């Protein structure tokens, strides 16, 4: 049944237990288990392979300290490596322009509309901004209502045009509205779309071309599996987005997709969603995500104390 990465690693590290040094043989065996565990965490197949190969090389070059077991050493090494891969430092949003235009994009149901509301709330309450939400999803039933309800909850105005079916025109009108009313951030919600839907991808590329956003955030469900790589790449090829938002991290997914996305498009993950409420937004911490994917926050702190 469901085994988390921690169980797997514990089992994998048994191979190393009692052995004084990291050798080609024991590290290979362990890496195989770790690779499997990464795959269970939904890390992309190629990414997992490259990562374990890399860690293996580094591990073999290490001198084993007497105070610490090879297993623990390897654990810490992995966590550090992963944290570096996840981005190293916290990346801030670029919101200096007036008005700052932020375009939100992603697959169906990823959490774009909810995130748009959360971001507006964050900018209003934490960054002292005057945001305007723009309802650019003209397809999903009640998408406009949804954004209006969220805007109402957080006290942020929402620009809508229920007579229009043209997201580009709506976005441009929204920006004009913001300028008129002195709102200094414009957050444009868009419809969910598949990366292979040529018509809709063209449409969002056009929204980008016309509105010239300062930030384009790609919103992705943290439970996504192997397809995360294809989708992130396709959206990035089309939009050259500036950051990633990982949603639904209040669940129990390991979130390996985060690593895959980072490694395939090399764009910073800027925010995480941790609930349905408007306050459930956090900035992204690469080291925390690394520990989550590995499922071994405890082990790391143990090693750090040793």
Ligand X SMILES: Nc1nc2c(ncn2[C@@H]2O[C@H](COP(=O)(O)OP(=O)(O)OP(=O)(O)O)[C@@H](O)[C@H]2O)c(=O)[nH]1
Determine which residue in the list 9, 16, 34, 42 makes contact with another protein, applying CB under 8 A: 42
Residue 142 exposed, middle or buried by CB count within 10 Å (0-12, 13-18, 19+): exposed
In terms of Cα–Cα distance, which of 90, 50, 108 is closest to 269?
90
Binding region for Mg ion (CB under 5 A): 112-113
Interface of this chain with another protein, residues 150 to 169, rule: CB under 8 A = 150, 153
174 Cβ contact partners less than 8 Å away, ≥ 6 residues apart: 132, 134, 136, 159, 186, 188
Q: Looking only at residues 96 through 115 of this chain, which bind ligand X when binding is defined by CB under 6 A?
A: 106, 108-114
Distance CA 54, CA 81 (A): 9
CB atoms within 10 A of CB 303: 19
Q: Out of ligand X, Mg ion, another protein, none, which partner does residue 52 contact, by CB within 5 to 8 A per kind?
A: none
Q: Exposed (0-12), middle (13-18) or buried (19+): which is 80, by Cβ within 10 Å?
A: middle
Residue 145 binding target from ligand X, Mg ion, another protein, none, CB below 5 to 8 Å by type: another protein
How many of the chain's residues bind another protein (CB under 8 A)?
49
CB 62 to another protein: min, Å: 27
Which span sits near another protein by CB under 8 A: 52-60, 74-82, 190-198, 210-218?
A: 190-198
Residue 87: DSSP 8-state: T
Least Å from the CB of residue 67 to ligand X? 41
- Quote the tokens at residue 25: 């043989």
Binding segment for another protein (CB under 8 A), chosen from 20-28, 68-76, 111-119, 162-170, is 111-119
Q: Which positions touch ligand X (CB under 6 A)?
A: 106, 108-114, 137, 140, 143, 191-192, 194, 247-248, 250, 273-276, 280
């Amino acid at each position: 049944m469901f085994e988390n990465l921690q169980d797997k690693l514990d089992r994998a590290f048994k191979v190393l237990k009692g052995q004084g040094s990291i050798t080609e043989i024991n590290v290979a065996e362990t890496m195989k288990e770790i690779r499997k565990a990464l795959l269970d965490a939904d890390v992309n197949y190629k990414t997992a392979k490259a990562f374990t190969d890399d860690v293996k090389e580094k591990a073999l070059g290490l001198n084993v300290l007497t105070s610490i077991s090879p297993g623990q050493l390897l654990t810490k090494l992995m966590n550090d490596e992963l944290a570096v891969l996840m981005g190293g430092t916290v990346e801030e949003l670029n919101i200096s322009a007036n008005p700052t235009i932020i375009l939100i994009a992603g697959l169906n149901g990823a959490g774009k509309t909810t995130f748009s509301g959360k971001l507006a709330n964050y900018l209003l309450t934490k960054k002292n901004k005057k945001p305007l939400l723009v309802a650019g999803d003209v397809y999903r039933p009640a998408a406009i209502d949804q954004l209006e309800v969220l805007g109402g909850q957080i006290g942020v105005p929402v620009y809508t045009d229920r007579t229009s079916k043209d997201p580009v025109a709506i976005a441009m009108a929204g920006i004009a509205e913001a300028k008129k009313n002195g709102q200094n951030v414009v957050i444009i919600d868009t419809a969910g779309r598949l990366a292979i839907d040529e018509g809709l991808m063209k449409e969002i590329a056009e929204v980008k071309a016309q509105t010239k956003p300062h930030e384009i955030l790609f919103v992705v469900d943290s439970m996504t599996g192997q397809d995360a790589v294809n989708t992130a790449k396709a959206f990035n090829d089309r939009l050259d987005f500036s950051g990633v938002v990982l949603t639904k991290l209040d669940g129990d997914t390991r979130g390996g997709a985060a690593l895959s996305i980072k490694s395939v498009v090399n764009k910073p993950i800027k925010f995480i969603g941790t609930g349905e409420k408007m306050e459930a937004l956090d900035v992204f911490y690469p080291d925390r995500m690394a520990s989550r994917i590995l499922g071994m926050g405890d082990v790391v702190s143990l090693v750090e104390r040793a």
